[in-house]
A and B are shown apart, each in its own frame.
Chain A
Amino acid sequence: MAEISEAPSTSNLDTGFDPETMRKSMPGLKRLSLALTVLFSFLLGLPFLLKSIAIYRSPLPFREIDDLSTAIESSPILFPCHFRAVFVDFDPNSYTADQLSISVQAHMAKLAAKNSPTCVTCASNFTVYVTLDSNSNCISNWNNVDWNCGALNEFRFADKRDDGLLDEYLESVFDDNRNGKVYTVVVVKTEEEEVRAVVGKYRHAWIMEEGLIPGEFKPVGADGRIVLSFNLLNADPRNWIYDWDFQEIDENLLAPIIEALKPLADVSVESQVLYHTPKSSLSFWDAKLDSYIFSTKDLPFFANSNEWHLDTSVAAGGRSKILQFVVYVPSAKECPLRLQLPNGEISTTNGFISPMWGGIVVWNPSACLTDSKIKHPLRHKISPEESRKVFEVFMGQLRQLFGLKSDGLFVGASGTSALLASERGFSEWELDVLSRQHSCFNLLQCGTTLGSLSRLVQSLPRMIIMDDIGKQGKYSLEAAKLTLSNASLGIYDASAESSRQARLLAEDAFYHPSMMSVGYFSFEHCFAVYSPFFLPVSLHVLLAVLREWKRHKQESKKYKAWKANVASFSY
């Protein structure tokens, strides 16, 4: 039907019909429609094929992840901090509570602006309540203040200058069982000129000092665990062998600290004694100081990774963090060994820290024997007093590793301020700071991990993503949101906990074993399998459609030409 019919030759002359350029019948559509049907059925089948070869990808909330990570990066979480200033024995007429409050706030804002590392969590989100207490007349700018007027009258400042006692007394005055945590500053007017500021172990202080070393908070493993590994290194056991009673140290000195750090991290302790572990840097004899000296320049080379097989531990499997604490007992050749500070002084602790790695203390045996030719060295034990000293240094180092001041006493801008250390090594307000920073850091980390996860997943479209990963991502997001809401309410412990959870889940998702498997079905692979069929076939189909289309156009032109011809002849 659609073919060019044999034109009757008789009519050719009459009508001017030219078989080369004209035709009388309509060009047929049968073959064209056939070719098109085949093409379209192929196109229709394509989604099914893609579906059948699709790999399983659990849906990840990409949008929300991106929102979270940008939100966290642009504005780190802020905890509301409440400060309460109690001015005792001040004249209520000279100041009003509101005035004082404003001036304190302005001053604190200035302080906060001075140092702004990534995770200062109270930066500008604080409220200040001021109470003026003068002989049981209380003026306050906040109604709910539960400051017991005249409470301090019973406590005679002038007589008792024991900071610790006052601290305990204040703790008994303030009930800390309210939900919000309030930092109290008690300013006492005394006759003396000197201004003393004491920051207590509870959440109150006599005069608050800004005494934190700004720094990144990191030494907690991704799974929220820290292993404290204590190592006693005998550089050369041929000279002397020192031993310690770690069991006792563990029970008496370390257990309270572990208890104190519980909300931050799951801490475990292990110990070992190693022998034949020389340091790798050199020290020189200083006759004036009568000792061998190593300077701060040598510190990067002090730890000898070839010989100090401190090792990781089985207990620290996975992603927990190990902090190594090393007691280095020098050999007779370099005894006594002392650390010289850049200003030429000898370090009092004789130790140093390496951030994220741990700390080293050089412990010199009391009698540095010059005679190294003892045939069979005796085993000595480090005395309990000595080991207590060493562990106090370690405590300072641990505090430093956590980003706090290492020592209890320091000279501030306004005279002397003493930080009272509790027996647990960390005072409550320090733990608050740590948990705030911890939550903030965890949240940051969680944001970046989830961000990289979503980028990775999006960049590898043919990677299998298990349900577990999707779920972990979702839960991590939820935990992160919970952290944010807890943080805005000022619940420190809960937000630390949920931020830990968020980070753990995010890391779990990122390091899921299936993410690293080779089982991902590459696009090249898919191409190699399907192309031997689809390429030749699609070539045929496309060519057929093209040819038929061209032909159809050509033939319809011919038909039109004939029509025009007929029309011209008839008129």
Chain B
Amino acid sequence: MGIRESIFLLFLILISTYESFAKEGLAEELNEEFTEGLLLRPLPDRKVLAHFHFQSSVPPTRTYGRHHHLFPKSIYQLVNKFRVREMELSFTQGRWNYESWGGYDPISSNNAKPPGVELWADFDVPLDQVDASWKNLTHALSGLFCASINFLEHSTSYSAPQWSFHSFAGKLRYGTLPREAVCTENLTPWLKLLPCRDKAGLSALMDRPSIYRGYYHSQRLHLTSDEFDAVKSNSGIMLEQTLTVVLQPSTLEARAMVSVKTLQPSWSLSSLFGRKVHGRCSVSKSSNVYVQFEQNLVSELKEMWKESEGSESGILIHDDFWTNPIFEMSASPHRVVKEVGNLQQEDSSILYEFLVEDYNDSEPFDLGLRWKLPVAWLCQQAPLRASRFLMGSGNERGAIAISLKSSGINNTQRVGCSEKGSLLSIDIFQVVPWYVKVYYHTLKVFIDGELQSTMENIENMHVSPSEDKVSPGVMEMILRLPCGVKTAALTLEFDKGFLHIDEYPPDANQGFDIPSAVVSFTDFQASIGFEDNFLNKLPILNELQERKHVICYTEVLLVPLTTPDFSMPYNVITITCTVFALYFGSLLNALRRRVGEEERLLKSKAAKKKGPLTSLLSKLFAKLTGRPVNPPETPSASPSFIDYKLIVKVILVAGMAVKLFRSSFQLN
């Protein structure tokens, strides 16, 4: 025993020394990191966008080991247990307003999410285990985030997009829950993944009532891991958490100024969130706040500046540019970052950077922006505005239409669309539940109101039709549209299916949701490039700089399905049983009858007394049958009369019994 132990110890020591050597061999900079950032942007419709961005990263287990100091344990375990290569989970309440909040910038492409829950994950497991991993992952996430993500477990509620959404060789699964209600119980576990939670740093701004009072909020968790890649040079796990909220500044001042229509509301952190920032989270590497002025706003400001001052570039060169005749900021920015690489436009967006670490408890950070002159501008739009609606009426069939409208003049002149005759490529991904049976052969494409032959405009299409109670219908297509297109529309007809009585949700009459379709414009990149290279180290700016396609989500559709009367099976059972019971009872009675004896009895009874009721009944019967009134002595009439009486009795008894059972069933 002793020898074995000592050998074991020796072995351990050997391993540990080897590992320490291995560690030394690698670069020293490999360590866990956490950064936080907040981006604020005034929106044209008098609202303010606040985008919180937190990022934790951990070097790969192979070199760093499995014990962490900053990285959340639960996420690390999740990644390792289910071998997740990439995953995104978002909880959203409200709909992103693409028209007034923008549809062309990285924030809208990354953080405008469909209402409810959206989850997609890519696994590093053999193809036949992907579904099992997905199911386990949904359950784990469901527990982690207090949400009903486990409903995505059923094969009817998730799909495996082939190439359109994010293509990862068939190991990606995608599912949405449009009806999931999102609230604080989802935010709290999300905050637990941050080292400082909402106790310190920028996340201390997250006052629940203020956030949930907003017009839109979307909390997102995105993680990438290359833990399982065979290549040596991997970067470990990166967890990106963002919270995007659109708030209406509601200060007294703003209310007073409502009369001046175009004056933007002034706001500060404390008026938006009701809280101030008391310093950074002590374990974060950087903690910055940015105020972004969009390209169109900047050009508008320049215009105004030119009018008032006469010099065009003053807005940027001037020393105290944050206090100028147009607007005023309560704090001086640490730095101003300008967008570069935007060759098409002469103006570019500006970021004002503020460092939270300069502030502390005695001097909290409360950034304010006050407008002095009215400004009006428009956000940058995606080349086409996508919306989706239902056509047709009744409970039997209908059609889904996706319409794409040109959003304005300036956009069609964008990248790749400068020459005439070039084409715009649009990627559409749509998942439809199985009970909405879409006939894909009925696909029609209309361009500027005219029906086109489908094959001409569709470059690539992949359809996996729904299978009843097994899988949803998935449609992926690449559409090619001419650049000068004004409107384009796609229609697809469908039949409404029938669900089994057990499959209806408790609120079946509300209707059923068809999840949002994803429309991406693959020719367009939503990214903002910045002049300084060292800025690459700041994850929040990295997110803005990342080159990604412009993506937008369509509306969720609500399809009313025929809902049965849920007591129907019992009604059928009851009426069938009643009929059978009646038949059986009368048969038994008929078998037991003694005709001769009854006649004699009647005769003797009639001899004694003829009741007024019986004579009346017999008269009535005679009238009904059209025969003359027979005296009760006549043997032919009396048995039939008795028979009726009997049947009436039987019906009465059966009816009572049935009634009894109906009532007992209803009690059930």
Question: Within the complex, which residue of B74, B196, B279, B668 is in contact with A311, where a contact is CB–CB below 8 Å?
Answer: B74
Residues of B within 8 A of A238 (CB): 200, 279, 282
- Out of B8, B574, B653, name the residue touching A532 (CB < 8 Å): B574
- A interface footprint on B11-23 (CB within 8 Å = 1, 0 otherwise): 0100110000000
Q: Report the contact-size class of chain A (Cβ under 8 Å from the partner).
A: 35 or more
Q: Once the chains bind, are A375 and B68 in contact (CB under 8 Å)?
A: no
Known interface pairs A237-B282, A424-B5; 10 further A-B residue pairs with C-beta atoms within 8 A, sorted by A's residue number: A237-B200, A238-B282, A241-B283, A247-B65, A273-B70, A275-B195, A276-B196, A314-B77, A532-B657, A540-B585
Any A CB within 8 A of the CB of B260: no
Which residue of the partner chain, among B67, B197, B581, B668, contacts A528 with CB atoms under 8 Å?
A: B668
B199 nearest in chain A by CB position = A276
> Looking at A168, A275, A375, A547, which has the most chain B CB atoms within 10 Å of its CB?
A275
Confirm or deny: B654 has a beta carbon within 8 angstroms of a beta carbon on chain A: yes
Q: Are B664 and A531 in contact (CB under 8 A)?
A: yes
CB of B334 closer than 8 Å to a CB of A = no
- Cβ contacts A to B, 5 pairs, < 8 Å: A252-B16, A272-B68, A274-B195, A532-B577, A537-B584
- Contact pick for A251, options B12, B73, B360, B653, CB 8 Å: B12
Contact indicator B657/A535 (Cβ below 8 Å):
yes
Is B657 touching A539 in the complex (CB atoms < 8 A)? yes
Residue of B65, B581, B597, B653 with most chain A CB atoms under a 10 A cut-off:
B581
Interchain nearest-CB distance for A379 vs B (Å): 8
Is residue A270 contacting chain B, with contact meaning CB distance below 8 A? yes
Contact with B along A123-159 (1 / 0, CB 8 A): 0000000000000000000000000000000000000
Query: Per a CB cutoff under 8 Å, which of A3, A314, A532 touches B596?
Result: A3
A38 near B: Cβ within 8 Å?
A: yes
Any chain B CB within 8 A of the CB of A412?
no
Partner of A375, one of B74, B196, B360, B589: B360
A63 to B614 Cα, complex, angstroms: 67
Instruction: Note all chain A residues with C-beta closer than 8 A to B585.
Output: 536-537, 540
Majority DSSP secondary structure for residues of B touching A: helix
Tell whether, in the assembled complex, residue A532 and residue B73 are in contact, meaning their CB atoms are under 8 Å apart.
no
Binary A-proximity of B203-233 (CB < 8 A = 1, otherwise 0):
0000000000000000000000000000000
| Pairwise interchain contact A237-B661, C-beta atoms closer than 8 A | no
Contact B81 A539 (CB under 8 A): no
Residues on the A chain within 8 Å of B451, using CB: none
Residue A246, interface by CB 8 Å: yes
CB B475 to nearest CB in A, in angstroms, measures 35
Q: Are B578 and A536 in contact (CB under 8 A)?
A: yes
Query: Do A311 and B73 touch across chains, with their CB atoms under 8 A apart?
Result: yes
Looking at the assembled complex, report how far the CB atom of B146 sits from the nearest CB atom of chain A, in whole angstroms.
13
In angstroms, Cα B657 to Cα A343, docked, is: 78
Interface check B9, CB cutoff 8 A:
yes
Binary interface encoding of chain B residues 626-668 relative to chain A, with 1 for a CB under 8 A from any of its CBs, else 0: 0000000000000000000000001001100110110011001
What's the least CB distance linking A30 to chain B, in Å?
A: 9
Chain A, residues 510-551, CB within 8 Å of chain B (1/0): the string is 000000000000001101111111011101110010011000
Q: Which residues of B contact A (CB under 8 A)?
A: 2, 5, 8-9, 12, 15-16, 65-70, 72-74, 77-78, 81, 140, 192, 195-197, 199-200, 279, 282-283, 357, 360, 570, 573-574, 576-578, 580-582, 584-585, 588-589, 591-592, 594, 596-597, 600, 650, 653-654, 657-658, 660-661, 664-665, 668
**B residues in contact with A259, CB < 8 Å:** 8
Which A-B residue pairs are the 3 nearest by beta carbons? A532-B577, A533-B577, A536-B581
Contacts of B570 in A (CB 8 A): 528-529
Check: A35 CB closer than 8 A to any chain B CB: yes
Tell me the bound Cα distance from A531 to B658 in angstroms: 9
Measured between beta carbons, the chain B residues less than 8 angstroms from A35 are: 588, 592
Nearest-CB distance from B265 to chain A (Å)? Answer: 34
With both chains docked as a complex, state the minimum distance between the C-beta of A272 and any C-beta of chain B, in angstroms: 4
Residues of A within 8 A of B16 (CB): 248, 251-252
Residues of A within 8 Å of B658, CB to CB, are 532, 536
A114 touches B (CB below 8 Å): no
Are B581 and A537 closer than 8 Å at their CB atoms? yes
When the two chains form the complex, which single residue of A247, A252, A274 contacts B12, counting CB atoms closer than 8 Å? A252
Given contacts A31-B591, A539-B657, contact A246 B664 (CB under 8 A): no
Task: Give the complex CA separation of A274 and B283 in angstroms.
Answer: 11
Which A residues lie within 8 Å of B576 (CB)?
533
